[in-house]
Structure 1
């Protein structure tokens, strides 16, 4: 009997001290290989072919493409993956980038969002 092929997740991180945290533990426990790429340093080729792409957070905005040109590469990558309906997860900055890749607008809220906060569901969901 042949073993199922190992699934591969690629995470793009924007600050050196950040990782996938408990998500990495869950993926490893389910047999996933996890590769981490440093934004602006590592080529994104591996992210194009990953079974799952995870784009992590960072202290910048998805609108900062002039200051951080590597964000344009990530936006193009996300547009391709989303058009192909490939599994993709964005956390914090990663969610902003996904919103932009889908044609959405990203704007400041007037308060910093750092860490976890309670969620409340509305009737709209």
Structure 2
């Protein structure tokens, strides 16, 4: 079978709803936490697919998280080899950094379920499956669009919501994998101040998750299945 490595930056942000389409595409999934002693020695070029998930830290917080520098360096090697790579939220920001773009605090906290706005390129990409679908946003950082990539989606607060490079690289600032994962409670735990900055609260987010989550995940799965189907060879 083909191999897929899921990189987790925190235990409660895993592959979630994307597991089903990745396995259906014939990938055997393994995962590693960045805190695992084995992580520094892992070969990030070897897996047939790398899926980089989210986390509460910023790419620029290297003093607090020294592993970030090493991860970005090895990710850059994978991207230089044009190996299939998917990034979600922090994972997308890591990809941007590995491609030489700046990652920095955004203008506001963007938290809650809302659709992304697809441009013409996005409407012709696998993101068409999430057109008009409220997806989870949970971020306060943004990035410059890396050279050689194509912007696919935006929101009013964050112009750079998704980008791709050819058929092998897809980066998503939002979380179309979330909506059915019970670990969402861990996201909310202790996050009152953070979500309040975004003008929402835990009760509203739980209600959105319960009401919208199943449709979000269904659309996200169609998107990832479409992207995986377009990978070379």
TMscore range, shorter length = 0.7 to 0.9
Is the 1:8–1:33 Cα contact (8 Å) retained in structure 2? Answer: yes
Rounded to whole Å, the distance in 1 between the matches of 2:100 and 2:112 is 26
Is the 1:13–1:56 Cα contact (8 Å) retained in structure 2? Answer: yes
Q: Which has the higher helix share?
A: 2
Q: Which has the higher strand share?
A: 2
Cα deviations by residue, 1:52-107 (Å, 9 ceiling, x for unpaired): 11110000111111110111121011110011111111100011111011110111
Q: List runs of 5+ in structure 1 lacking aligned partners.
A: 1-5
**How large is the RMSD of aligned CA atoms in angstroms?**
1.8
Rounded to whole Å, the distance in 2 between the matches of 1:89 and 1:29 is 16
Residue 105 (structure 1) aligns with? 102
- Matched residue count: 120
Deviation, 1:112, is: 2.2
Deviation, 1:22, is: 1.6
Structure 1: 4+ residue segments shifted above 4 A:
none
In the alignment, which of 115, 118, 127 is matched to residue 118 of structure 1?
115
Cα deviations by residue, 1:32-59 (Å, 9 ceiling, x for unpaired): 1001100132325153310011110000
Bigger-Rg structure (1/2): 2
Task: Report the CA distance shift for 1:123/1:8 in structure 2 as closer, same or farther (over 3 A).
Answer: closer
Structure 1 residues 17-56: aligned runs within 5 Å: 17-41=12-36, 42-44=38-40, 45-56=42-53
Q: List runs of 5+ in structure 2 lacking aligned partners.
A: 122-151, 153-233
Rounded to whole Å, the distance in 1 between the matches of 2:57 and 2:5 is 21
Is the 2:53–2:89 Cα contact (8 Å) retained in structure 1? Answer: yes
In the alignment, which of 10, 19, 24 is matched to residue 15 of structure 1?
10
Task: Report the CA distance shift for 1:115/1:16 in structure 2 as closer, same or farther (over 3 A).
Answer: farther
